[in-house]
Every structure is written in structure tokens, then in C-alpha cells.
Structure 1
Amino acid sequence: MRKNSHKGLVPLLAGLSTQKDWARKRDAILQSWLELVGGLPERAPVHFEQLDSVREANHMRLHIQYDAAYGDKVTAYLLVPYTMSRANAVGKLPAIMALHPTANAGKDDIAVESGREGRRYALELVERGYIVLAPDTITAGERKDDGADYFHTALFDKQYPEWSAVGKMLSDHLHGLDLLCSLPEVDPERVGAIGHSLGGYNAYFLAGMDERVKAVAVSCGLSTFYGDADNNRWGRRDWFSHLPRVTELMRMGKIDFDFHEIAALAAPTPFFCWIAQQDQYMPHWKEISEAASELHLLYEHLNVGDRFQALIGTSRHDFPDSIRQLAYAFLDKWLLGEP
């Protein structure tokens, strides 16, 4: 990765002539990214236990807990539709990793009726016939540290000073992907990821790390350092510190990447991106739209321009119904082969 100019983003196609050039550049971005997140530990074998189950009108909601690195456990809902209408010839269904936004309720915000309006995408996707895994991230839902507030990473940072919350979430979601692809009901060639806000960037982080994600839908999750008035949004803070090393790197003027490069790791995976012009948390939508434009240029360079779709609208930090429906249609196209 190269240092971004204060005047704009480094073009993703800079120095590229062939697709092999991109492969080499991608490898360099990936290695720098892994170093920044603190690396990824060896994955634990797939193992989960069912804690409870609830029969809903059109699906079964399994309350489960699965193994993650360093002996940790991830609580999650596994939503399984009753209908097999979307199964292929051998009875396997498409599946989705549904990653929640910054909500104290964690997985409940997206997977049960009590979730907020515009956030129940896990529930809506199981109703469309997908098997859905909706895990809690660290510090949210059932994984809030005892005695700590929701979305405070101080205890994690103290326990793992060389790691990062982003690295931890990515590791946990890779374990979730392992679990999902291991289920006999799931077609591992038709697995996608979706998320809003925190869940949005976690979704493309996951897609960039694992080719088993065949399509990704992101709402209000693409961001940039460039143009962001909150210089320490991603660094060490008194609540949720995404990438603690960023604070020191920024102090030394050594930030040598921006998030369009991290999102580019997902290419050529089909990528849907929603950008809100009145996003109160990431208001620099013009710079974010430049990042989306750079991503589209990369997809075109890879001869898959139709696989990247970015939409910009006037909503606040939200995942409006009309946009969710477009995101679902995008996932259907690439995971189900529907027009």
C-alpha cells in the first residue's frame, strides 16, 4: 500500500497494466493489512453446540455457540428456513453470514422481530430461503464483558495488546464461515455476506480474506481516512478501538493505506455498496463515493465491471427498505443465478 495524498486517494489502478500486476499488488495490500490487524491466529476446528431453539412462522431459530481461536466462544443465531424451494438438486441451500451493526442487542438487532426497523436483514433473508448465521461480535449481545459497557474493548486490548478488535472480529467471522460451509444443508458454493455499518465493513473485510464468500452487500460500511473529520475514528479510543496502531501511525504521519484498498481485496467478488449522503457518523460521502468509483475501475480492469454496484442516496445512517430490497436482489443474482 502507498501513502494517500491529502488531495485524494491513491488510484487502485496506479502501476497496473495486467491482471497479474493486480495479483501482486493485492498480495502486498493483504500482507500490510494482516500486519495492521495484528495477524490471524490458527483457526479452531469446527465445533458448535445448540443452546436453544425457537419455531418461527417460516423458519427455525437455533441459538448456538461455536468455537473460535484461543478457546473463545461465539454466540449466534442460525436461522434455517422450513421451505426447501430454493435448494438445488441435492437439497442444499444458499447461505448468508449476516453481521450486525453497532447495537447493544448484537445479533438480536438483525435476526428477531424486536430488532430495529431497517436492521432485520437476517430475518428477511431467511424468509427469502437462505440459511443465515448471525453471530454476536465481541462486546455486543451475549458477548459483553462482565462489568464493562457495550462496545468497550479495553479488556480485550489489555488481554491481546498485539492484536486488534478488527483482527478479532475477522477471526471470529472466519470461524463462522467455516461452520456455515460445514453444514450438510448448505451449498458452500453459494455463500454470501451482508452487513450495515460495523457489520458492513466486517462483511467486506471477510470477503477480502476468504474466497468462499461469493457475494457481499454493504450498507454504510465503506469509509476513508481521506476527507474524514474524525482523524481517530479507527484508532485507539475510550470505547471501541478498531485498530489501535492507527493512532500512533497517524501521529507519525505514516498512514500508508486507505479503505478502498482493503475493500479491493474482495475483488472480483460481486460487491453491492450503499452510501448515504446524510450519514451522521460518516458524513464525508463525497470522498467515500470516490472510493467506490476507484473500486468500480478496478472491477472493470478485471473485466468484471458488472459485479460492482454502488448506490448513493439521501438517507441518514440507515439501510432503507428500498435499498435492502436491491441488496437482496443483488445477492439473489449472484448466489441463486436469478435475473
Structure 2
Amino acid sequence: MKPGNPTGQNADNNRREFLKTSLTAMAIPFSFNLDAISNSVPMENMVSENVQLPGKSIIGDYGNWAASLLKPVPPLSFRDPGWKDLGTWKKEAYAKAQELIASPPKSPLPKVNVDKKYVYDGLDIEEISWQLPYGHKTQAVVLKPQGATKPLPAILGLHDHAGKKYFGYRKIVKTSDDQHPLLKEHQVTDYSGLAWANEVAKRGYVVLVHDAFTFGSRRVRFEDVQGLSWGEVDTAGKSDQDPEKKENIEAYNEWSIAHEHVMSKSLFCAGTTWPGVFLAEDQIALDILEQRSDVDPQRIGCGGLSGGGLRTVYLGGMDARIKCAVCVGFMTTWTDLILNKSVTHTWMTYTPLLPNYLDFPEILGLRVPLPTLVQNNNQDELYTLPEMKKADKVLGDVFAKAGAKDKYLGKFYDGEHKFDAVMQKDAFDWFDKWLKNS
């Protein structure tokens, strides 16, 4: 569902649907009353158009003041003329980012269980799982060309958010002809009907896709939560023995989106951040991928759309084992989020205080001079086009100053929030260029 400018009853219905299934799932207030939210504040006032009106913002007349607190060139930006040496800058900027992202202590490498092996879609597929010291076990899938024996380059596929937290890795893979209708619909809407992890695996990669923190097998079960009341969704689906039933999945997705602000505040109180937990768990998956005998550990990339693009920003920026990164549909500036678009984004985006030191694109820029592709959509409703363009220039300037202009590419495509077939081809060609041919 893409937000537009409808009127009348259809507008109310569309606004409610947008609030339920926003592509990156904004956090919803504690009382969780969608009708009250959508009727009290018109969506056209909540989500600004791509032209910012002077003096107006999503936080009213506080917007310009809040934006003015950011320095045009933050002190740890490599764009600052004071930074001459790439190595010295990277050391200091990385240390500050690591401090503020505040990942929890890294768990020991877990035992990996191979739960099932089979062939589908011309691929050898393994369903695997591992248990971290906290939460439900992580489920994942590994795909590679059928019959491949020698070590191959590898991709850590990072799945999206999409307001669909019941699902995780299943959103970007296809492992049988019997695919859930909601997954089919999602892949048609966002991926040209393709399971992109399958498609890149067919080009000669080992691809691992795992359920991220709070998604799929790692989701918070609302029956385990105590001390909160979420109205009718408290009991939705409990009496039904089929958790894959459409109504039960939608009830869970609704509940889990509303729970995000609770989780985020609890993580802050624990001394960590949502990006920090993502980073720690994605690095465990990266550990597992690079230690496989069928993987060349010197040729590993990562990428993903939307929430997967967000995770690419943090993982690609903070872990040099990612030799090639493709961030899709998640690039803008902190200013854009202050004035226009924090309302369209999940609590998973933010690292408090980091904007004092780096602009948002510069988190990904910490990986310079390693190859980096950012793919943007001109009509992406989650960002404003001018700020996407500014973010592209920021990254371009960082890579140019480091003498690595050829290692960065920012591309813009017509259309709304998506990773369609054309974008996938460009992304896979970029992986091939740097992980196969370089």
C-alpha cells in the first residue's frame, strides 16, 4: 500500500491501511487505536510531500530549530578538511560510531543445526538454525547453485521490514511451489514477483538469509508479554491452531508494530540500541557464513531493501568483512528525518547522539574504500528526493576524497519504494564486478 492523497471514506481506509502496513512500519502510540490516529491527524499533514514548506515540519515550528542543531559537516565527517589521513579518520570515526551504536556483547559462535536439505529452483538449499543465549532460535536458509562444490563468493541477504514481522527470511526467498499468499503478494509488490535471494544465488553465490531480531523465528510472541494491554489483538488468533492463517498473521503484524516503541525504549534502558542488536546478530550470521567450507571468506557481500537497506548501512559501515555492499531504498539525511520523514520509519533506524558526529549516509561511508552501491527510487514515499540527492553527494564526496571514486555508485530509478527486476540486475552486476571479477 503506497500513501497518496485520496479524499473521503476511501482516504480514511487508505490511511488506516498505511498505518498498519507502512513499508518501514512507523511506531504506533501505546493506546493502539488506529481509527483515532488516522482520524485525528490527516495523513497529508503527517507525511510531508517532497517539497518542504518553509517553517513547517512534522514537529511543527520546532523543526527548523531541531535541524539547526546539526552541523552541515559533522566533526567526524571525512568531508571535514581537517581530516587528511584516511586511516586516522576511520579509526576515530569508527570508535565513536561503535560506542554510540552500543551493540550488546557479542555472543559466542553458536552451534549450527542443519534442519533440512533439498533441491529446488536449480539450487541446493539448506534450512539451518542456531540458538543465541537469548530469545527463540534463529532460523535461516542457505542457497547455492545445484551441485556447486568449490568455494564461491557469498552474499548475506538482509530481509526487509515492510510491516510484516511475522515473516523474516521467507520474504526474499522461495523454497517451494507452495508459497504463502502473503509472501507471494509481497514479492510481487516490492520485488517484481522475484525471490531475489534465489536469483542472486543462481549467478554463482552462496546466499545466507536469516531472521533478524524481532522477525520471523526471532519475533516477540505476544503470549509471552506481560504487563501490557493491546485491546482486541491481545487474544487474536490464540484459539486458532493455524498460526499461518492470514487473519492471525495480520493480527500479529499489527500487534508487533505497535510494540516497537516499547522494545526500543527498553533497549535504551538496557544500554543498547536497536541498530546495535541488529548489528550484533547480523555479525553472528556473517561469522556463520564466512566459516562455511563452500564460501570464499574474502569475497562476501551484503544487501537488502528497506529494513534490509538499513541493516546494510550499519553492517556494511561497521564490518570490513563485507567486501561489497548494496543498500536499496534506505538512504537519506538526518535532516530529512527531523523535518519530514521520521514518521515513516521504524524505531529500528535511530542511534541517539550519533548525528552529532556523522550524517546518516556517513555510517555507510565508514566502509570507504570498499565497493558500495546505493539504489534509490525517485518517488519513494519514505524520503524526500532532495535529501536523497544530498545523501548521494555526501557519499560521493567521501569516496572521492579517499581516492576511491570508482568504488561508489549511487543510482536513482523512477517509481516508489521497491527493489524491482531492473534494480536487481544492477545490484547483481555490482556484486559480480567486485566479488567475481576483481
Tell me the TM-score normalised to structure 2 length.
0.66
Q: Which moved more, 1:140-149 or 1:261-270?
A: 140-149
Give the whole-Å Cα distance in 1 for the aligned partners of 2:99 and 2:204.
38
Corresponding residue to 1:181 among 275, 279, 290: 290
Which runs of 5 or more residues in structure 2 are unaligned?
Answer: 1-66, 223-251
Give the whole-Å Cα distance in 2 for the aligned partners of 1:5 and 1:244.
17
More strand by share: 1
User: Residue deviations 1:31-68, cap 9 Å, x none?
Assistant: 23223222341331242112233420311222211244
Q: Which moved more, 1:54-63 or 1:67-76?
A: 67-76
User: Residue deviations 1:158-182, cap 9 Å, x none?
Assistant: 3663112111111011001100000
C-alpha contact (below 8 Å) 1:36/1:243 kept by paired residues: no
Corresponding residue to 1:275 among 366, 376, 387: 376
Corresponding residue to 1:264 among 348, 365, 369: 365
Which residue matches 1:242? 348
C-alpha contact (below 8 Å) 1:192/1:214 kept by paired residues: yes
- 2:371 is the alignment partner of 1:305: no
- 2:122 is the alignment partner of 1:35: no
Which residue matches 1:217? 326
- 2:99 is the alignment partner of 1:99: no
More helix by share: 2
C-alpha contact (below 8 Å) 1:67/1:175 kept by paired residues: no
Highest RCO, 1 vs 2 (Cα 8 Å, sep ≥ 6): 2
Q: In 2 relative to 1, CA 46–182 (structure 1 residues): closer, same or farther, beyond 3 Å?
A: farther
Tell me the TM-score normalised to structure 1 length.
0.84
Which residue matches 2:173? 111
Which residue matches 2:79? 13
SS at structure 2 position matched to 1:242: helix
Give the whole-Å Cα distance in 2 for the aligned partners of 1:221 and 1:271.
13
Which runs of 5 or more residues in structure 1 are unaligned?
Answer: none
Corresponding residue to 1:331 among 428, 431, 436: 431
SS at structure 2 position matched to 1:226: helix
Give the whole-Å Cα distance in 1 for the aligned partners of 2:94 and 2:351.
17
C-alpha contact (below 8 Å) 2:362/2:394 kept by paired residues: no
Give the whole-Å Cα distance in 1 for the aligned partners of 2:68 and 2:291.
40
User: Residue deviations 1:189-228, cap 9 Å, x none?
Assistant: 1110011011012113112221111101111111211133
- 2:323 is the alignment partner of 1:203: no
Which residue matches 1:143? 218
Q: In 2 relative to 1, CA 243–36 (structure 1 residues): closer, same or farther, beyond 3 Å?
A: farther
C-alpha contact (below 8 Å) 1:271/1:308 kept by paired residues: yes
Q: In 2 relative to 1, CA 334–245 (structure 1 residues): closer, same or farther, beyond 3 Å?
A: closer
Give the whole-Å Cα distance in 1 for the aligned partners of 2:72 and 2:379.
21
Q: Which moved more, 1:154-163 or 1:325-334?
A: 154-163
Q: In 2 relative to 1, CA 335–259 (structure 1 residues): closer, same or farther, beyond 3 Å?
A: same
Q: Percent identity?
A: 23
Letter in 2 for 1:108: R
Give the whole-Å Cα distance in 2 for the aligned partners of 1:242 and 1:270.
25
Q: How many residue pairs align between the two structures?
A: 319
Give the aligned CA root-mean-square deviation in angstroms: 2.8
